[in-house]
Amino acid sequence: MTQIYDRVALIGLGLIASSMFWAIKRGGLAGEVTGYARSAQTRETARKIGLCDRICESAEEAVKDADLVVLCVPVGAMGGVAEQIAPYLKPGATVSDVGSVKAAVIQAVGPHIPEGVHFIPAHPLAGTEHSGPESGFATLFDNRWCLLVPVPGTDPAAMEHLRALWEGCGAHVDEMEAEHHDLVLAVTSHAPHLIAYTMVGVADDLRRVTDSEVIKYSAAGFRDFTRIAASDPTMWRDVFLTNKDATLEILGRFTEELFALQRAIRMGDGEHLFDYFTRTRAIRRGIIEAGQDTDAPDFGRGKVAR
Ligand SMILES: NC(=O)c1ccc[n+]([C@@H]2O[C@H](COP(=O)([O-])OP(=O)(O)OC[C@H]3O[C@@H](n4cnc5c(N)ncnc54)[C@H](O)[C@@H]3O)[C@@H](O)[C@H]2O)c1
Ligand SMILES: O=C(O)C(=O)CC1(C(=O)O)C=CC(O)C=C1
């Protein structure tokens, strides 16, 4: 139990904020954690389940005297929240966020951060398809990456504190530059979500001809592949609107590969299909062997390939 901050404020009480709260409590990482959500119903639920030491009626009240303020709202709401809390931030405090896109958040939040307050964007690479204050759990960040995205002139001591908080929450911490982050995440997270949403849309379109059998008998492949299509629509709308260029670049490449496979199927080119699947299977297995598949079961002996 190492306390890193006296007071932490969480703004937006959904999956990530609630998981942060339970992880901070588990590690004894903060003296007090305050919380604020825009909707009265969310604040009520938070109080009921004991989320945060104190739920405040305004964002201003929540951030007052906080040493660390973490913005846990959808990416498109970050700028507005930053503007709202700016006059109430304590000198020397750190403002961070957990947004899935970084360049747009830096652009939206940065200008509102007052002189004497540190701004360190961050992104924990962990989540589920669930959302809201009741969806969080203390172990969400265990053995997952959290990327810190320092802006020019970032105070090294403030960085160390934030790094220690995320490590205390169970994460491995790395640093990455914003544009690079957005390109990497477009491949590993954003495009896959869009493709999963699309596949569910296709299944739904087919409902009329298959008499709902696609949904009723949805096989393991469909279920595994489309779990993430149950994710929050506001969050993902904002991700695509704010990481437009990188996502469109990756979707362009994806479409080219898809067309090549489509052509191989039409032409009966089994060799092309076999070679492609052999190569991609090796890559996927390599991810597991490198221990980067943090969902693979761990029986206390390191990651076990599935
Ligand atoms: N869900 C994931 O898998 C995941 C993973 C890593 C990072 N993120 C990022 O974390 C952030 C939060 O995501 P989440 O999954 O916790 O979402 P969530 O939908 O569970 O929670 C978001 C919360 O923010 C509140 N909110 C929305 N607009 C607000 C405003 N203007 N002021 C105050 N509160 C507001 C909502 O009412 C809700 O309580 C997003 O930026 C998302 O991109 C999500
Ligand atoms: O596992 C999931 O449900 C997720 O979608 C989590 C996930 C991801 O794509 O890996 C989603 C968005 C993030 O910003 C980080 C993590």
Tens digit of each residue's pLDDT, the chain (306 residues): 799 999 999 999 999 999 999 999 999 999 999 999 999 999 999 999 999 999 999 999 999 999 999 999 999 999 999 999 999 999 999 999 999 999 999 999 999 999 999 999 999 999 999 999 999 999 999 999 999 999 999 999 999 999 999 999 999 999 999 999 999 999 999 999 999 999 999 888 887 666 667 777 777 888 899 999 999 999 999 999 999 999 999 999 999 999 999 999 999 999 999 999 999 999 999 987 776 555 543 433 233 332
Distance between CA atoms of residues 42 and 11, nearest Å: 12
Cα–Cα distances (Å) from 176 to 35, 102, 201, in that order, read 28, 10, 34
CB atoms within 10 A of CB 258: 12
Angle (CA) 270-276-282 rounded to 5° is 130
Nearest CA to ligand 2 atom 14: 100
Given a contact cutoff of 8 angstroms between Cβ atoms, the answer to whether 268 and 232 are in contact is: no
Q: Which ligand is nearest to the CA of 227?
A: 2
Determine the pLDDT at residue 209.
67
The backbone torsions φ and ψ at residue 70, rounded to the nearest 5 degrees and listed phi first, read -115, 120
Do the beta carbons of residue 154 and residue 183 sit within 8 Å? Answer: no
Q: Give 100's DSSP letter.
A: S
The closest-lying atom of ligand 2 relative to the alpha carbon of residue 239 is 14
Contact (CB, 8 A) for 276 and 261 = yes
- A 10 A CB-CB count for 149 gives 24
With a CB cutoff of 8 Å and minimum separation 6, the contacts of 217 are none
Find, among 101, 248, 294, the residue nearest to 185 by Cα.
101
pLDDT of res. 290: 74
| Inter-axis angle of helices 15-27 and 156-168, nearest 10 | 90
Check: CB of residue 163 under 8 Å from CB of residue 96. no
pLDDT of residue 292: 59
**Residue 113: which residues within 8 A CB-CB, separation 6 or more?**
82, 86, 89, 95, 119
Residue 17 is predicted with a pLDDT of 98
**Closest C-alpha residue for ligand 1 atom 33:** 38
Helix, strand, coil shares of the chain as percentages rounded to 5?
Answer: 55, 15, 35
CB 23 within 8 A of CB 138: yes
Q: What is the pLDDT of residue 81?
A: 98
Residue in the block written with tokens 């960085």: 159
Q: Is residue 39 lining ligand 1, measured as CB closer than 6 Å?
A: yes
192 Cα nearest atom in ligand 2: 9
Residues in contact with 208: Cβ distance below 8 Å, sequence separation at least 6, in sequence order:
none
Q: Which domains are delineated in the chain?
A: 5-176 (3.40.50.720), 180-267 (1.10.3660.10)
Choosing from 19, 71, 100, 102 the residue with most ligand 2 atoms within 8 A of its CB, the one to mutate for a pocket test is 100
- Residue 291 has a pLDDT of 66
Nearest to 181 by CA among 154, 228, 146: 146
C-alpha 130 to ligand 1 mean position (Å): 11
| 46: amino acid identity, one letter | A
Q: How many CB atoms are closer than 10 A to CB 253? A: 12
The CA distance from 205 to 202, in Å, is 5
Q: Are strands 145-148 and 118-124 parallel, antiparallel or unpaired?
A: antiparallel
- Please identify, by atom number, the ligand 2 atom nearest to the C-alpha of residue 124: 15
Whose CA is closest to atom 9 on ligand 2? Answer: 189
Confidence (pTM): 0.94
